[in-house]
Structure 1
């Protein structure tokens, strides 16, 4: 999406202006873009909107994203890579040796607050822009949805965070206090409730694929309420997203499980019926090594690929040789081995090597079990800097996830979950899609299904934390109860400010 817009120059210039301009710079003031002479037209508003979307799907220049952090933090995956310091932020996350100065928390904090800054700036300016009222209302609703998502991630990962409701004068940035999580959650709920009635039910995917819809905002609100343990309220939101006949007919928004699980991971299968919120990637962005994080390509496609991969037979997958990050553990492979989702989830490189159809070079933490959902393919590679420009999208929320979250909400709300109930239909629609028999609706069965269905999608660690099981399950990786449920607030954010560090950091 960035490819269409000149937002980067706009935001960079604005930030440079706010940070102060050196008098010795020889700059023509007529060419300077500032907050005062921008935000005049609908095109300006759209550019600013896209700049918020940019942060929504932002990937670090260090070659990782939110999902990568969550994956290496959980029990099912290891950092991998080329050595014990390769993408060090992921290595210290895997071993829980991060601290306030070292680790991926700076990316998480900056992604959230830079997105909030961009959102707040547009919201403060858009009323004065002369543009179509319906379109303006939609822009506002999209921005509020993303702002809610940023705050939800921040409160989930850090808990004790500042609530910044508007634009802040740079001189006041060092005097902002943290607020209580309940106030953050209330703010998130309000933003989403404001946005949902205004957002479109569907969008034309050819021209607007990836833009937020009513269903996406409702699914996000359902997830927020689930994390707050507002079980029935969460179930009510998911019910609209999931439809009256889960697994049988599409919802009011057209959502329906794909018939073939493996089709979810086809690079060409963008904006399919199971996609609720999708981060868009492109194979034609021409992103380069000067700023890998600014690429429109999906960096998971290169980081998860096996090192030194080569096809020895045309029957072998056409994997693009990558960096061997986010490998699955042997216990997880044993767990999923006989599940129908195994082949689409795990790329078993040792099996291919033993069969003599392919070869690869073992990386750090090598298990032979790679994250097959995202490995780039030679047939999909870009023409320019191919390793940074794979076009496979990423699901922030997809329908099987919302089915399982609604089933969990209904179970915990205390309603009936026996054979034939809605919770039973939801859980078993996910299983039926891959040919598995029905099971009873229990917390244990829901947790198992989430682990199998959503492996490698960045959801296992937040699930373990909210279920209160992280300290037990992750003890062998170094997780300490009462500490590692939260990330440390980055040291750079604490210096000379009123912010206080999280407990035990």
Structure 2
């Protein structure tokens, strides 16, 4: 009987796998080799290594595809096209861009499924083992447990938004259960997400030492994720509840909007006051292609740079692979906005002015992502440059939670003055005047403020705008709001395909 990738992820929960090494981060812990789970979790050091292993899938940028989810969500939205070298370059990217996905689509589906279910499997193992680790203090048991609850909520939040109908697994599966899992209703997944986050919040630290623990979950990250999850459930009667959760973050003295918008994305400014939850990457690992797929850097940075680039103006350290060329729609929407230059690089105009050269890739528009572009100042000094970009993925930041709370206040009939002040704060940071805090204005502000950061596709889907906005890409209402279940997950299991993909 053939085992599926999903089940293999849960089988691997019986081992502790090496974590990603990140300079000046708690992720520097690297369990040596592969240790059988039955012989592990016998010391505090092993418990720590198990905790690191549960975080490890967050930073996966390469399994069979080449990029973090941020890149994939950007090209699936109206912000960018797939790009690359040709119409067959990264087939999964091309098919999501044109909404021709099927259960057999290579690369992308299996990666997204595997990343999150591997994380859940490692979390479940930790939660079952943590209470019996000799010598582990009660304080560490409490913190590790809260971190695992946060991570399980995070992984399931990705899964339910991406695939909709997924198995709900909160314990280590026995062999007899491997092929008998069924899909849960999305409402049940969200209920578990909320349960885990509500349990985690009281026991997570308000802050961490970013020099040693940067990237670990905090109380603010869990509160923000809880508010986001409730909003995504789309129940108007609960919007005030979401607003209250987000307000806890937005009024916390631990966070503040940065005065300089562009500095948010500078990899030399990691864990800044606007960052609420950040996935760590580093160039210090010096990885080469022989290390596939265990790279510590952010390969997505390499993907979005202009192909064959040469010239000092853009400061590109290495020619990129020209994925995610920015659409004319986003360029037009951002023209005149103070955030334009930190978001979009107009390489075509530089080339026409004779200041650089580059090779136009597939679906080239001449406009490229600037927020996490491959800049000379950020390149690593060891290993293959293209694999070792240090740019972190800022999963949740304060402007995001400001705008989400403003939305929740308006939708829930809450504090309209507060919604206005939150929207005003985001705009004032970049020198823009106040506009009324209507839903349309809040959604438009999210589009501009968070462009190319991986939020737009989810926003279009959850607000019902996707069938209209993405129609020209081929988006089909009632089908493309979620992805197909990967074909290999359907073989020899009780899982069924999502509607529209049979």
Q: Is the 8 A contact 1:292 1:388 kept in 2?
A: no
Q: 2:468 aligns with which of 466, 469, 472?
A: 472
Task: Give the alignment of 1:370-385 within 5 angstroms.
Answer: 370-382=368-380, 383-385=382-384
Say if 2:33 is the partner of 1:9. yes
Distance 2:52 2:305 in 1: 30
Distance 1:218 1:316 in 2: 38
- Matched with 1:56 is 58
1:292–1:306 CA distance, 2 compared to 1 (3 A): farther
Q: Is the 8 A contact 2:309 2:316 kept in 1?
A: no
Say if 2:422 is the partner of 1:426. yes
Distance 1:138 1:324 in 2: 42
Distance 1:470 1:304 in 2: 24
User: How far apart are residue 415 of structure 1 and its match?
Assistant: 2.4
1:396–1:292 CA distance, 2 compared to 1 (3 A): farther
Q: 2:73 aligns with which of 35, 57, 70?
A: 70
The superposition leaves residues 362-417 of structure 1 with CA deviations (integer Å, 9 ceiling, x where unpaired) of: 11110000001111122221121111101111101011000000000000001242
1:342–1:8 CA distance, 2 compared to 1 (3 A): farther
The superposition leaves residues 134-191 of structure 1 with CA deviations (integer Å, 9 ceiling, x where unpaired) of: 0111111111101001111111111211111100013321011111122111111110
Q: 1:183 aligns with which of 177, 184, 188?
A: 188
The superposition leaves residues 185-208 of structure 1 with CA deviations (integer Å, 9 ceiling, x where unpaired) of: 111111001110000000111111
Q: 1:231 aligns with which of 233, 236, 239?
A: 239
Q: 2:357 aligns with which of 336, 356, 359?
A: 359
Task: Give the alignment of 1:441-456 within 5 angstroms.
Answer: 441-456=437-452
- Matched with 1:414 is 413
Say if 2:100 is the partner of 1:97. yes
User: How far apart are residue 56 of structure 1 and its match?
Assistant: 2.0
Task: Give the alignment of 1:130-141 within 5 angstroms.
Answer: 130=134, 131-141=136-146
Q: Specify every segment of 5 or more residues in structure 1 that has no aligned partner in the other structure, as ranges.
A: 11-32, 244-250
Distance 2:127 2:314 in 1: 51
Q: Is the 8 A contact 1:316 1:357 kept in 2?
A: no
Q: TM-score, normalised by structure 2?
A: 0.91
Distance 1:53 1:368 in 2: 37
Q: Is the 8 A contact 2:76 2:96 kept in 1?
A: yes
- Matched with 1:339 is 337
- Matched with 1:387 is 386
Q: Is the 8 A contact 1:340 1:434 kept in 2?
A: yes
Q: Specify every segment of 5 or more residues in structure 2 that has no aligned partner in the other structure, as ranges.
A: 1-18, 22-27
**DSSP 3-state at the match of 1:93:** helix
Distance 1:434 1:162 in 2: 43
Distance 2:32 2:255 in 1: 34
User: How far apart are residue 69 of structure 1 and its match?
Assistant: 1.7
Distance 1:315 1:177 in 2: 54
Distance 1:397 1:8 in 2: 32
Say if 2:93 is the partner of 1:85. no
Q: TM-score, normalised by structure 1?
A: 0.91
**DSSP 3-state at the match of 1:268:** helix
User: How far apart are residue 5 of structure 1 and its match?
Assistant: 2.8
Q: Is the 8 A contact 2:305 2:321 kept in 1?
A: yes
Aligned-residue Cα RMSD (Å) equals 1.3
User: How far apart are residue 286 of structure 1 and its match?
Assistant: 2.1
Task: Give the alignment of 1:106-125 within 5 angstroms.
Answer: 106-125=110-129
Distance 1:114 1:368 in 2: 38
**DSSP 3-state at the match of 1:79:** coil
Distance 2:274 2:415 in 1: 27
Runs of 4+ in 1 over 4 A off after TM superposition: none
Task: Give the alignment of 1:289-300 within 5 angstroms.
Answer: 289-300=289-300
Distance 1:211 1:440 in 2: 37
**DSSP 3-state at the match of 2:53:** helix
Task: Give the alignment of 1:281-296 within 5 angstroms.
Answer: 281-296=281-296
Say if 2:228 is the partner of 1:256. no
1:360–1:169 CA distance, 2 compared to 1 (3 A): same
- Matched with 1:320 is 318
**DSSP 3-state at the match of 2:82:** strand
Distance 1:195 1:359 in 2: 51
Count of equivalent residues: 470
- Matched with 1:501 is 497
User: How far apart are residue 209 of structure 1 and its match?
Assistant: 1.1
Distance 1:415 1:187 in 2: 26
Say if 2:150 is the partner of 1:145. yes
Distance 2:335 2:442 in 1: 19
Distance 2:363 2:448 in 1: 22
Distance 2:33 2:153 in 1: 25
**DSSP 3-state at the match of 1:283:** coil
Task: Give the alignment of 1:238-253 within 5 angstroms.
Answer: 238-243=246-251, 251-252=252-253
- Matched with 1:195 is 200
